[in-house]
Structures are given as structure tokens and as C-alpha cells.
Chain A
Amino acid sequence: MNPSVDALRATFGTAIGRATVARDGETVVSVGAERLRDACQWLRDTPGQQYDYLVDLTAVEYRDRERPLEVVYFLRSLERRADLRVKVELDPAVDLAVDSVVSLWAGANWLEREVYDMFGITFRGHPDLRRILMWETYAEGYPLRKEFPLRGRFSRAEQVRQALAANPEAHYSLEELSIADAYQELPPDMKERLRNGERGDLPNSE
């Protein structure tokens, strides 16, 4: 068992939950969602801990619907050559949100965006929480959730119809269009549609 767990428990008390040793020998410690950012900051900055490197950040949903979702933080101290895995349990029935750690590790930026994209978990305080692998207007949900079917939610016909009906101007975000001053030159109705967040002109399904 990694000695950081006892130190965490001494500092954060009841916010630290179960600690186990995984099958690969690494220690997995569970932290309450409300203290997660504090615990991560403490793990990064305290002498003797120095988990300065975020290896990975991901989420797990179990097939057992009773179990909460987990956000997993793989921490590493390059100096001490030690790894620690921190988990936060989130109940989808309550609120899928946890504080962002981008301010601690810049590498978490895209990783948190990916978890948001794939699992629908919100990271409070993230500077730019947008979908990253799926497109901005993807409406089928969160692909790595267990209730999401392997082939996607929409039928193939619907997916094709949406792709064909997509608005070509929508390849740029409003922010990007404002860079180019191209936004001013768009016809008023398109401006209005873009402002409403509409990205494709969907024909009525018959």
C-alpha cells in the first residue's frame, strides 16, 4: 500500500474513502468529490508527495447499474518514482460533476474534455469544456456510457440525413468566425441561426 494514503487520511480525514491495491500492484484510493481538488493540490505540492505528473485521467462506468461512475486520476511523482491512482465516485442520479484539475496540471485540459465528451461528466472550472472527439453539435448522447448502444442512438438513415443537411458554415465556431470578420458578412438569417446554436438545417422527417 502506498504510504501517501495514510498521509492523505491524516490530512483530509473522512473525505478519504476506501483504499485498495489493484491487480497491477498500484494503490487506488477513493476521495470524496467535494475535496478532490484540494486533495490533488495537496498531493502535488506537499514535500514528500510531489505527484507532479498527471499520467492519465479517465472515467469508468460499470455494467452494474447500482454502482456509481468513477473518475480516475493516474498520478505520478517523477522525482520519487511513485504512482498513485485516485478515484472519485459520482452518482448519475445526483450530479455528474467534479472540480476541474486543469489549474494543477495543464495536461488535464483535453483529458477532461474527452471524459465530458464520452461520459457527460462536467468539470467545474474547466476553461474550455467542449466536446473534443465528437463534433460540437453531436446530439446522440455520451458514447462510452453503458446505456449508449454500440451502433449509436440514431438510425443510419437519420445519421446520413443529418450529415447531408449540415450547414457548411458551421465548420467554424462563432468565435472563429469573429476572428475572420467573416461573421459580419453572413446573411442576417444565418447569423440568427448560428447565434441560436443551430448547426444544421434539418429537413422535416416525413
Chain B
Amino acid sequence: MSKRTIEVELATPGVDARGQPTRVPLGVEAAPEPQLAGEHMLINLGPQHPATHGVLRLVVELDGETVVRVIPHLGYLHSGFEKLGEYRHYNQIIPLTDRTDYLAPMANNVGVALAAEKLMGIEITPRCVVLRVIACELSRIISHLVWLGTTSIDLGAFTPFLWAFQQRERVYNLQEMWTGARLTTSLTRVGGLMADIPNDFVTGLREFTRTFPKTLDEIDRVLTRNAVWAGRTQGVGVMSAAEAINYSLSGPMLRASGVPWDMRKDQPYLDYESYDFDVPVGTAGDVYDRYLVRLEECYQSNRILAQALERLPDGPINVDDPRVILPPKSRAMNDMEAMIYHFKQVMEGVKAPVGEAYVGIENPKGELGNYFVSDGTAKPVRWRIRPPAFINLASISKMAEGHLLSDLIAINASVDIVMGEVDR
């Protein structure tokens, strides 16, 4: 029920929740394009180009200034994580996931841990569930802030970039406080977490959730009804709902096209069904709607964070199972039984039963799936990441062809790619 509220608000033609126009009419009639048709030209964009958001390379065929064809070339950041995962214990895979979607490392850690736990049939503790929700939503916020900042720079607005990165820095400080790392967090373990939150964390996060929406309001004021922003993004890179489904888009890309699918609502994990939050859904499926959806998701993540802080229960963060969780160092050094478990886990790893498990979670970029196939040993036979950015990016040729070259930049930005995940 609450899910539909935003959808209705966005669906009301031309008016948002605050009664402000969402579709900004351009002041001037679009000038007719000069006739440049004729000779086709080949433009190489990337792999080293600030507007390709990493080492993406696009070979673009232009007719005048119109994009005729986009040929993406990937793999410049291919690291073979999936292959490497077949040679690692389940817990050793977690550091690899930091480096896939490196703009939201904690959410990746959660995804792979959930899949391993599903495979092994482990129930995590209530405190761990809430802490993982906090990790996921913090990741969503920092990932969307990077997206907002870099996309606004791509389209010529510098200020929102600074505001977004200032707020991102605050989340990074919290992340560093919790995990000791700003990027390579490796937060989760199979059956729990690497560490509990430190003492000041709750205070810091509460302060963040209180003050963070102000920045979003400011970005909203600067961009949403800005004629240049609207002109660069409205009607650009349109994907209809049917096309979005056919192209397997997920996350904000899918919802901006008007498909109300969110893993947190539709296949809930980590008790997301018990949180009160809305899923923004667009109508036009263009770059502008993707922006609106992501901006609103930041507000909603903030709401979830506040609720998670309210309900954060006391108790252990790890399951009480010595075959899965390493004993504390002090016990491993003083207690024979603990030392044996410590030895077996470090040397042999955690054995998973024969079988397979897929867990999809709603990552900032879309549905992140982790698929494990096990033959009963401590190392998976196959570890597959369903990479949301890779699958979303596959539609770029479809979206960009027929638009201007400058629109290609906006479209490419709107996909929200992160090459660590696209190339893996």
C-alpha cells in the first residue's frame, strides 16, 4: 500500500508531492538541427575518458551529430573474480566482493554472505539482520550520491557534485569507524559480521540521518526544476516498461520505466517487509525519471536507517555455531576445543552441503545476484555474480541510437555503471 504512494505522486501529470511541476517546459522551442547528415564518422570514447565512469570504451558511429550506432567494448577491468572464487573458501570470497561494485562494498558483502548462508541453511541473529540492513542502506546512499555527483558534472552542474561528495564523506567516516576501511570493507562473514558497531556509531548515524535530507533538498532545489537539467534529461534514453523488462533491466532503471519491482518489497530478505518505506516508480523511463527515482530512494533509505536504529536489538552478531564462526582469539589460544575449531576453519574452511542457491538483493545499481553451486567441499564449484550494472549497460545501444552525441553522455551516466562490476 505504502509502495504505491510515490508512484501515484509521480504519476500525477506535471506535479510532484509538493505541488511543484515535475516536468519543466523548456522556455524556447528546440532549434532545428543543422543539416550535417552525410558522411559517417567514427568516434572513440574511452577507455580513458572522464564521462565514461571508468574504463568503458564506446565506439560511436555518428551521422553529423546523431548517434547511428554504439559499439561498447568491455573487459578492461576484468579481474576473473568468478574464477578466483572457485579457489577460495566462502569467507575468503567476501573480500573479492568489495572490489566488484566498489561504490557500495558493504551491500556486496551482505549479498554474498546471504547466498552462502542460504546454501548452508544458516539463520543469522536478529542484531546481525538489522546491522546488515544498515550496511545495505548506507551503501545505497553513497552509491546514489556518487551517481548524482558525477552525473551532474557530466551534464555541466558542478555544485551538486561537491554537496553529494561531502555527504558521502560522512558515510565513509561511519564505514571506516565500523570496519576500519573506507573501501575494502569486507564487513560480513558467513553467519555473521566481522565486527559489531563501535560505541559512537549509533550517535554518528543518528546525526547523519537527521541532517542528511537537507542536502538532498538542496540538490533537489538546484536540479529538479532546473531548465538546463530538465532539457538535457527529459525524453532522453527512453525505455518503455515492456522494453525494460525485455532487456532485463533492474533497480532504478527498471522502476524509472514504470515497473514497480523492488527485491526488498517483492522478494524480501533481511526482514525488509517489516520496514515502512516507499518505492519510487517513474512514468517516462527517461534519464530524468531515473534521476527522480534515485533521489527519492536516498530519502527512503534514510527513513529505513532511522527505523533500523530504533529497532536495533542487543545480542550477539554471530550465530552460535563453532563450525561456522571463528572462536575469539583469546579462547583459541587457551581452550583446546576452540583451538581445534579455529584450526579446522582456517585450514579447511566452512563446508557447504551439496546443492545450489541463488540470492538476489536490491543493490543500488539493481538486482545483485549471488549464485553458488557446491559439491560438498569448502570451495564452491561455481560462484556467479549477477551483475546489475553489466545487464543494465547492455541496453545502452538501444537507448542511445538516434540521439545526439551529447545525449549519449547523459544516457551512459544514467545507467549508473561501475566497471569493477561490469567487468568483474
Contacts and interface: CB of A to CB of B under 8 A. Distances in A.
A23 B356 contact: yes
Nearest to A107: B248
Contacts, number: 123
Nearest to A81: B266
A24 interface: yes
B357 A179 contact: no
Interface string A154-187: 0000000000000000011100110111100000
A108 B381 CA distance: 23
A171 B357 CA distance: 39
B87 A22 contact: no
A144 B42 contact: no
Contacts of B398: 106
A85 interface: yes
Contacts of A181: 39
Contacts of A105: 246, 248
A60 B382 contact: yes
B225 interface: no
B74 to A, nearest CB: 6
B247 A106 contact: yes
Nearest to B250: A55
A41 interface: no
A42 interface: no
Interface stretch (A10-18, A127-135, A197-205): A127-135
B384 A56 contact: yes
Contacts of A110: 390-391, 393-394
B70 to A, nearest CB: 11
B42 A179 contact: yes
Given A56-B369, A56-B371, A133 B78 contact: yes
Nearest to A117: B75
B324 interface: no
Contact of B71 (A23, A61, A176): A176
Interface of A: 22-24, 26, 28, 52-56, 58, 60-64, 72, 74, 78, 81, 85, 105-111, 114, 118, 132-135, 143-144, 148, 150, 171-173, 176-177, 179-182
Interface of B: 39-42, 44, 59, 61, 69, 71, 74-75, 78, 80, 82-84, 87, 118-119, 121, 243, 245-249, 259, 261, 266-267, 353, 355-360, 367, 369, 371, 373, 375, 381-382, 384, 386, 390-391, 393-395, 398, 423-424
